[in-house]
Amino acid sequence: DIQMTQSPSSLSASVGDRVTITCRASQGISNSLAWYQQKPGKAPTLLLYVASRLESGVPSRFSGSGSGTDYTLTISSLQPEDFATYYCQQYYNIPWTFGQGTKVEIK
Amino acid sequence: QVQLVQSGAEVKKPGASMKVSCKASGYTFTAYYMHWVRLAPGQGLEWMGRINPNSGGTNYAQKFQGRVSMTRDTSITTAYMELSTLRSDDTAMYYCARFYCSGGNCYPDYWGQGTLVTVSS
């Protein structure tokens, strides 16, 4: 199975801050990486796929980059509605595997 | 619009079985694999398996082999996930998720709203 190591596990930030979350795969996943936002009691919402493609309707302050084994999610200017938990996921092969999540909290 | 609507919350006793449904609408049900993922309290997201709604073929995570069964009913565009011999650590939110393919790219896009299953004596 491909292991996904996501960091940090949590962070505190203020509205307007730039936030970066990283995800490392245990082997190359050819950009088969998605980023999700999840709020308590809700399903994960797709933000980006193929590492850097923005899902329709997702604000442009979210961006993704990376290749091979290392990937990054950036929120350019954190908004109040962005406080949530973020997950990376590889879908290069099955079993799908996920990062452990990053909880973004208000500073 | 694409919708995946799951069945309601359940409370089960240890040793029992559960069956969660995922009603798909707004697209051709048989065109895309359906996956099942769960989120247990204090744990991360965990992939359970997938079903090809066209053929009925399945792949399961090794952890759940022998305890999980994924089926579908194409006449009502619904996928099912059944988990048997429930334990307290099966208490989790269970999700279905569509694996969409377009233009040479495949990725999970829509998720069901989740079904909370609580296992308690």
pLDDT at A66: 97
pLDDT at A90: 95
Q: Give contacts of B61 with chain A, Cβ < 8 Å.
A: 95
A20 touches chain B (CB under 8 A): no
**Interface touch A91/B107, C-beta < 8 Å:** yes
Choose the closest CB to B44 out of A34, A53, A101: A101
pLDDT tens digits along A7-25: 999 999 999 999 999 999 9
Cα atoms in the Cβ-side hemisphere of radius 13 Å centred on B90: 25
Chain A and chain B share a number of CB contacts under 8 A equal to 55
| Mean pLDDT, rounded, of chain A | 95
Contact of B101 with B39, CB cutoff 8 Å: no
pLDDT at B26: 97
| Mean pLDDT, rounded, of chain B | 95
Choose the closest CB to A43 out of B44, B47, B111: B111
Listed in sequence order, the residues at least 6 apart from B43 whose beta carbon sits closer than 8 Å to its beta carbon are: B92
Output Rg (C-alpha) for chain B, integer angstroms: 14
Which residue's entry shows tokens 């194409």?
B74
For chain A, give the number of residues. Answer: 107
The answer, yes or no, to whether residue B16 has pLDDT greater than 90, is yes
pLDDT tens digits along B20-76: 999 999 999 999 999 999 999 988 899 999 999 999 999 999 999 999 999 999 999
- CA distance linking residue B36 with residue A100, whole number of Å: 18
- CA distance linking residue A52 with residue A88, whole number of Å: 12
A56 touches chain B (CB under 8 A): no
pLDDT tens digits along B66-106: 999 999 999 999 999 999 999 999 999 999 999 998 887 88
The answer, yes or no, to whether residue B107 has pLDDT greater than 90, is no
A42 touches chain B (CB under 8 A): yes
Peptide bond before A8: cis, by omega within 30 degrees of 0? yes
User: Which residues, given as ranges, of chain A have pLDDT below 50?
Assistant: none
Q: Residue A71 corresponds to which tokens in the numbers above?
A: 């990937």
Q: Rounded to 5 degrees, what angle do the CA atoms B92, A97, A25 make?
A: 145
Interface test with A, best of B33, B70, B111, B113 (most A CBs within 10 A): B111
